Amino acid sequence: MKKIAIFASGTGSNARKIIEYFTNHQNIKVALVVSNRKTAPVLRMASENGVDTLVITRQSFYHSKSVLDVLDSYRIDAIILAGFLWLIPPYLVKNFPGRILNIHPALLPKYGGKGMYGSHVHQAVKAANEQESGITIHIVDEEYDKGRIIFQKSCPLEPSDSAEAIGKKVLQLEHRYFAPVIEEYLNIENQNNLKDEVI
């Protein structure tokens, strides 16, 4: 069984979809939800779904390795960032090489980087009169939105689409594709590990 931890800062609609998708799954389980905001709705949603939660502070996240201890105690194999707005510190990247995935609500490398999250992204897309937007799922490294892209899906935009309407189109894609992409990625990784073990 592969265990995942979801990191999220806000509403947690993606976290909810992921939890629902992996409920009773054969070999993947959401074991923990981590948030940097103790009032984040995602924490309540997780508890209601029987998933353990952890609240982190800047101090604990950036100046100690206590998060790592908790992740180890749950035997977490992979971290999924679903609307998590803090930069992942180097010690976590090192401990989860290729095993931290992020979803970004635009077609990277456009509209990524520090400050580009949520509605800011859609406002920038709208301001640039883009004819399409979409989602990017990528591996996390030590910079915002820079790691290897493993999946993208686009959606056409109309000139009349507001930033809010763009956000809705993009969120639909996130809800549809994020969990299956996580599943496929972890299962492929599983096979690679198996191969390594055989060699």
Give catalytic status of residue 104 as yes or no.
Answer: yes
Question: Of 56, 103, 125, 140, which lies in the binding site for ligand GAR, with binding defined by CB under 6 A?
Answer: 103
Q: In this structure, how many other beta carbons lie within 10 angstroms of the beta carbon of residue 32?
A: 21
Q: 131: Cβ–Cβ under 8 A, 6 or more apart, which residues? A: 156, 157
| 134 binds ligand GAR per the rule CB under 6 A | no
Q: Is 68 in the site for ligand GAR (CB under 6 A)?
A: no
The stretch among 8-16, 18-26, 30-38, 43-51 that binds ligand GAR (CB under 6 A) is 8-16
Query: Per-residue string for binding with ligand GAR, 20-59, x by CB under 6 A?
Result: ----------------------------------------
- Decide: is 104 part of the binding site for ligand GAR (CB under 6 A): yes
Catalytic residue among 104, 120, 122, 138: 104
CB of 173 to ligand GAR, least distance (A): 10
DSSP state for residue 86 in the 8-state scheme: S
The first and second tokens of residue 4, run together, are 């995942």
Stretch that binds ligand GAR, among 5-13, 27-35, 62-70, 191-199 (CB under 6 A): 5-13
8 and 42 Cβ atoms separated by less than 8 Å: yes
Alpha carbon of 174 to those of 116, 153, 193: distances in Å?
17, 9, 28
Among the listed residues 61, 83, 88, 107, the single contact to ligand GAR using CB under 6 A: 83
Nearer to ligand GAR by Cβ, of 96 and 111: the residue is 111
147 binds ligand GAR (CB under 6 A): no
Strands 132-139 and 100-104: antiparallel
The amino acid sitting at 80 is I
- Residues near 8 by Cβ (< 8 Å), separated by ≥ 6? 14, 15, 33, 34, 35, 40, 42, 81, 82, 83, 84
Say whether residue 117 binds ligand GAR (CB under 6 A): yes
Q: In this structure, how many other beta carbons lie within 10 angstroms of the beta carbon of residue 47? A: 12
Q: Which residue is nearest to ligand GAR (CB)?
A: 83
Q: Which residues are tagged catalytic?
A: 104
- Interface residues with ligand GAR (CB under 6 A) are 8, 10-15, 82-83, 103-105, 117-118, 121, 171, 174
